[in-house]
Structure 1
Amino acid sequence: MAEPFKRSPYVQNATEKSIWYVHLLTHLASYVSLFGAILAEWLVKYHIISSNLSKDDPRNKGFASLNDRFEGYYTNYPYRLASDVMNRPICGVPGAIVDVLNRQTSDEGWAYTQDGSKRTIVNLGSYNYLGFSHNDGPCAQRAADYIDKYGLHMGGTRHEGGNHVTQKHLEECIANYLKVESAIAFPMGFSTNAMNIPALVDKGSLILSDKFNHASLVLGCRLSGATIKVFKHNNPQDCERLLRNALCELSPKTGKAYNKVLIVLEGIYSMEGTIINLPAFIEIKKKYKTYLFLDEAHSIGALGPTGRGVVEYWGCDPKDVDVMMGTLTKSFAAAGGYMGGSKAVIDHIRAQSHGSCYGAPISPPLVAQVAESMKIMTGEDGTDIGNQKAIQLLKNSRYFRRRLIELGFMVYGHEDSPVVPLMTFWITKVVHTSRRMFDFNIGIVAVGYPATSLSTARVRFCLSADHTKEQLDYVLKMMDIVGDETGSKYMKAVKPNPAYSSSDEEKSR
């Protein structure tokens, strides 16, 4: 692989459709499970069987019921019985290898106990894309220095005396990294979307939102009061069709022409592994003179030769994206979110956003972590460590995905994405896969309803620059065994893209 950052051949719709009979059977299994949950709830209600959720429990007296039909049935029964694969407690930094506390349940998931023992696992469940999640090294040392110099927190909002020189430094680092005029940072990634989108559009505006946009984007769009139209996932043609039709109409909320149109996208979709077709959406933005909002929570750091995200990956001009949002939690192993763009846009957010007004500044050691990791990625530290990390992440992503396809698994998303969803469709297969992989000391992400639809459950692998080929080969070997056990190989062996064979990949490593 002489040119590691030459994009793999791009497939517009990289999400496969499920096989019809699999789709039918998974729905049937879900309905049977739901019926069992309703029956169990009825038996508990009439005291035929006992339950830890009994309404007669004195601890529930005076509290409103947490059950609300479907969600309550699902949470109390199917989810509870599979809760051992969720929220596993770790002790240590979430690197390529992580220690996980062992826990036990004696009441089918109502409560868990720990005996203090732990196990070391290969971690493919964390968003540690660039491998900066360490408690030693230059990032950790700079964070420690910042604690000594600035302390841990300012203890107030930025508008009430809580602003700090480190926050200004962080925003300058982010703007420089994104190659934009200005940036603003917030203490939480979710609220960066939810609290700031309402400052950009109002009830007289139109939002065009991708079908699979994150919950934080959905919430922000709804809070804005704007008219929202949802287009098919990563489908610029459908986006343009909806936009063209909408511009022929008046706003249903104001009875006037739309005052603003905002297209909302993500760089990498964390459940689909899809890399957005950014050039096509930029073309639509320019053609119809709309605004473009890009959420790079999973693509910043994870794409491009210096980790500058999907804009760098496609070779686009950052000025063509009006708002570049991202999180500092994943690739940079810190916490918080940011927005970057022109000085006029960022100044508007700084003055008008609830997030800017009520949000606290980011803790100084987190600022240090982000600033140092960005410095490493751009090579400003005088080393090529950042370039090596970017190359290794891309190699790992391509190699792991190709090997899964060769084994016969149905894998969603694009080849260069470090998020690799493997489809099992049945939630029971997801749970069993996670448990068996944990038996082999491997940690993966088990995903089902409501994060996906009832019939599209999946396991998800998150690749890191820290993963070695030996670790990935071990995971692949165990996944091959578990895939046969669960019957999760829906595809015949597929030859990888001829541009890059697995043998060439191994040689390049």
Structure 2
Amino acid sequence: MVLVVQEQQFGFSNTIHIAEGQPRTHRPWKKIFVLVEGIYSMEGELCKLPEIVSVCKKYKAYIYLDEAHSIGAVGKTGRGVCELLGVDTADVDVYDGNFYKIELIQYLKYTSPAHLYATSISPPAAQQIISSIQVILGEDGSSRGAQKLERIRENSNFFRSELQKMGFDVIGDNDSPVIAIMLYNPGKIPAFSRECLKQNVAVVMTAFPATPLLLARARICISACHAMEDLLKALEVINQVGDLIGIKYSPAGLISSIRSKVQ
């Protein structure tokens, strides 16, 4: 068996190994697993799932879909990228949802040493997971789930569009709650983090080796619980810090930074 990992910015890895076959014998692989993420956690981009499904069907490969950042966040009823992109869930062989890698099948539960000799999930955590899914699906008898899904979409798209208007280089797709502000220069990472923290805004910085050396970024994760005043406060601070350390890379952003320094 061979695993093929799809990295959003760099395409598929291990493809040469597939073409060359198994080591030494070079016989064709009997099983090929293609591992993809629903929403890529470092870019906030949606995977091209319909195209991936089409290729996997053609070459009889299996699909492993990691939806840690998309279940409960995208799709009309929060069912993830399959619902959002119109992909039949029957075309995905293995799902990996949120709540940090729940066991996949009963066989693994009973035979895997990693499970047998590890600490199982606690009953309160299991109940929290079940209750969360019931809220998302509306099975709790309320509309809280639908309201939260609408709120997270509105919050995410508002925050992304405002950052772009300010002149930041923001990557990722609309509706994605993961928003990456590109810094590029590794030297600006601590400056951005510390200046934001001075104004009581904590940001998550992502740099090498999690990303390529010159693709450092600040990763913003939007929640349905963020109130509008929270978003506006964060935008105000990020806007000021962006001017201060010079990370507005669009033409409009560069002009804004120059004006703020002249004033």
Gaps of 5+ in 1: 1-204, 213-231, 329-335, 341-345, 495-509
SS at match of 1:263: strand
Please tell me the residue identity of whatever aligns with 1:404. L
Q: What residue in structure 2 maps to residue 246 of structure 1?
A: 18
Q: What residue in structure 1 maps to residue 73 of structure 2?
A: 302
Counterpart mapping for 1:47-446 below 5 A: 205-211=1-7, 233=10, 235=11, 242=15, 246-247=18-19, 249-328=20-99, 336-340=100-104, 346-446=105-205
Q: CA deviation at 1:308?
A: 1.7
- List per-residue Cα deviations over 1:4-40 (Å, max 9, x = no partner): xxxxxxxxxxxxxxxxxxxxxxxxxxxxxxxxxxxxx
Please tell me the residue identity of whatever aligns with 1:311. C
Please tell me the residue identity of whatever aligns with 1:324. Y
1: CA distance, partners of 2:50 / 2:71? 17
Q: CA deviation at 1:285?
A: 1.2
2: CA distance, partners of 1:257 / 1:425? 41
- Asked if structure 2 preserves the Cα contact closer than 8 Å seen for 1:400 and 1:472, the reply is yes
How many aligned positions are there? 253
Counterpart mapping for 1:469-484 below 5 A: 469-484=228-243
Mark the CA change 1:307 to 1:210 in structure 2 (over 3 Å): closer, same or farther.
same
Please tell me the residue identity of whatever aligns with 2:189. V
Q: CA deviation at 1:492?
A: 2.6
- List per-residue Cα deviations over 1:406-435 (Å, max 9, x = no partner): 110001111221111101112221211111
TM-score by length of 1: 0.47
SS at match of 2:181: strand
1: CA distance, partners of 2:219 / 2:24? 40
Q: CA deviation at 1:315?
A: 2.2
- Asked if structure 2 preserves the Cα contact closer than 8 Å seen for 1:326 and 1:339, the reply is no
SS at match of 1:251: coil
Please tell me the residue identity of whatever aligns with 1:210. Q
2: CA distance, partners of 1:295 / 1:427? 29
SS at match of 1:371: helix
Please tell me the residue identity of whatever aligns with 1:485. L
Q: CA deviation at 1:339?
A: 4.8
TM-score by length of 2: 0.88
Larger of the two Rg values belongs to structure: 1
Please tell me the residue identity of whatever aligns with 2:113. H
1: CA distance, partners of 2:130 / 2:24? 44
Q: CA deviation at 1:307?
A: 1.9
- Asked if structure 2 preserves the Cα contact closer than 8 Å seen for 1:300 and 1:309, the reply is yes
Please tell me the residue identity of whatever aligns with 2:32. V
- List per-residue Cα deviations over 1:87-109 (Å, max 9, x = no partner): xxxxxxxxxxxxxxxxxxxxxxx
Please tell me the residue identity of whatever aligns with 2:102. Y
Please tell me the residue identity of whatever aligns with 1:211. E
1: CA distance, partners of 2:235 / 2:192? 13
Q: CA deviation at 1:391?
A: 0.5
2: CA distance, partners of 1:208 / 1:337? 19
- Asked if structure 1 preserves the Cα contact closer than 8 Å seen for 2:103 and 2:109, the reply is no
Gaps of 5+ in 2: 254-263
- Asked if structure 2 preserves the Cα contact closer than 8 Å seen for 1:412 and 1:422, the reply is yes
Q: CA deviation at 1:254?
A: 4.7
- Asked if structure 2 preserves the Cα contact closer than 8 Å seen for 1:396 and 1:463, the reply is yes
